Structure 1
Amino acid sequence: MTNLPLAGRNAVVTGAASGIGAAIAEQLAADGATVALVARRTDRLDDLAGKLGAGAFGVGMDVTSQDSVDHGVGVIGDRLGRVDLLVNAAGVMLAAPVEQVRLNDWTRMIDTNLTGVLRLIGAFTPDLIAAGSEGKTADLVNISSIGAHLTFPGYGVYSATKAALTHLSASLRADLSPYDVRVTNIEPGLTATELGDQLDGAGQELLATMNEQIGPLEARDIADVVAFAVSRRREVNLRQIIALPTRQA
């Protein structure tokens, strides 16, 4: 067990109930980390934690609620102790064209994709700094999107939240690198997950066409990227990674 690349690491993964978050949690646990799986859907968390063994446990948390985050962080502290690896993978993508003024959808994406990330960063940055100051490896990983750079009609607010997250990651690296905390921003391209399930009919039809023409990545592909980045020696920070299907321009 001690020969595993992440043995002895304590990790938190948000959005761990499905898709990329679940795949990341599974890969980190396989590589030896003790993992707190965070999401709203506790039934799914319990199922996944049961499959991953004693080194994983689920924590119900809604990242859009500060009270929920505070409670969940307390549970994690009691069960896990100090965290040295945080992966922000929770996210929501909704088609919300600006001319339709769907304020609730805009707010939901901002609260989940940006403010929710900040809540977790605020909660665990002291742990990461403490780990780095002791000469241990400390990682903050944000899952952004290729949408941070590309224009998708109808998805301006979603893309804006991901662009903000990408820029935030760069700024956080400037803030945290003096404390030997690594910050990695990962931007997946077309990936087969449940994220598209929340789209309307037209959005799902477009996504199906893209999947057929391009061929999406799988969630485990992004998990591989995360596991590789956080298993480098602590002096190496892979700060920005774009992972695209080969056929996606």
Structure 2
Amino acid sequence: MPQNQHESQYGNQYASLGGRTAVVTGAASGIGEAAAVLLAASGARVALLARREDRLEAVAEKIRADGGEALVVVADVTDGASVDAAADRIHAAYGRVDLVVNNAGVMLANAVDDGRIDEWQQMIDTNVTGALRVIRAFTADLVAAAAEGRAADLVDVSSIAAHLTFPHFAVYSATKAAVTHLSTSLRTEFGPRDVRVTNIEPGLTRTELAMYLDNAEVTGQLDGLFAEFGGLSAAEIADVVAYVTSRPRHVNLRQIMVLPTRQA
């Protein structure tokens, strides 16, 4: 019998993920939660990283109830010491990591002339520098796994906002463009050592990101876009994460835009 709804929906096509050790940041909700659940259902051991311990425990309980293995690691990607401590705990519990999903992010939106430096700094620290901290913490693991002839994956979750322009999202879009370009550049360093780097750019996706917007005009615009185009679910983006990391190790799907069919 299928272990859970994810395995039931997608069958056993991700069986090659069995035995792998994954780290998923932003795993308390949304795309991170969905990716962690699906990777675990496919046989990977998953370390769940985020700031909200109660939410992480709920995700871990879901995974364990379905027969999967999960480790709760409370960490803040904007704090280098926190990320390093998280890596130490993961290594102590699971050993070497061979799959990293860099998903933690924050989306805030106000006009640049509002001068919200606090928001700009939060997005840069989380979306860009936070991703780099995680990459630094696990690069040696990925390189070593690849050297042993095993699949090794770095998956960076960016956004279609890296390419499209939206009023009030200039800084958010800039951070996601940085993530996209970072992923492309890292392939020149990691690819020759057989570490795959994949950049996933979701379009309109229903997650908690919009909950933190404090601009009623922007919130209304987003509601209108969802009404017009529909939206993807976090589970549908998680399916893409599992798909790219389950390919033969010599196949690197380097960049994938995932949009609702009606979104241009």
The two structures have a TM-score, normalised by structure 2, of 0.92
Please list every run of 5 or more consecutive structure 2 residues that lacks an aligned counterpart in the other structure. 4-11
Distance 1:231 1:139 in 2: 10
Q: Does 1:9 align with 2:20?
A: yes
Match of 2:105 in 1: 91
Distance 2:118 2:213 in 1: 15
Distance 2:250 2:81 in 1: 36
Match of 2:44 in 1: 33
Answer yes or no: is the 8 Å Cα contact 2:17–2:39 preserved in 1.
yes
Q: Which amino acid aligns with 1:49?
A: A
Aligned length: 249
* Among candidates 191, 197, 203, match of residue 205 of structure 2: 191
Q: Does 1:227 align with 2:242?
A: yes
Between 125-134 and 46-55, the greater mean CA deviation after superposition: 46-55
* Aligned-partner SS, 1:178: helix
Q: Deviation per CA, 1:88-129, whole angstroms, max 9, x where unpaired?
A: 010000013210111010000000000000000001000000
Q: Which amino acid aligns with 1:108?
A: Q
Q: In the TM superposition, what is the alpha-carbon distance from 1:132 to its structure 2 partner?
A: 0.4
Distance 1:170 1:96 in 2: 28
Q: In the TM superposition, what is the alpha-carbon distance from 1:203 to its structure 2 partner?
A: 1.8
Answer yes or no: is the 8 Å Cα contact 2:168–2:218 preserved in 1.
no
Match of 1:139 in 2: 153
Distance 1:212 1:153 in 2: 18
Q: Does 1:157 align with 2:168?
A: no
Q: Which amino acid aligns with 1:229?
A: V
* Among candidates 226, 246, 249, match of residue 211 of structure 1: 226
Distance 2:197 2:244 in 1: 10
Q: In the TM superposition, what is the alpha-carbon distance from 1:67 to its structure 2 partner?
A: 1.3
Match of 1:170 in 2: 184
Answer yes or no: is the 8 Å Cα contact 1:96–1:106 preserved in 2.
no
Match of 1:236 in 2: 251
* Aligned-partner SS, 1:226: helix
Match of 2:6 in 1: none
Q: In the TM superposition, what is the alpha-carbon distance from 1:5 to its structure 2 partner?
A: 2.3
Structure 1 stretches of 4+ with a deviation exceeding 4 A read none
Q: Which amino acid aligns with 2:217?
A: A
Distance 1:67 1:127 in 2: 18
Query: Please, what is the CA RMSD of the aligned residues?
Result: 1.3
* Among candidates 86, 111, 126, match of residue 72 of structure 1: 86
* Aligned-partner SS, 1:64: coil
Distance 1:57 1:38 in 2: 9
Distance 1:68 1:8 in 2: 27
Q: In the TM superposition, what is the alpha-carbon distance from 1:213 to its structure 2 partner?
A: 0.9
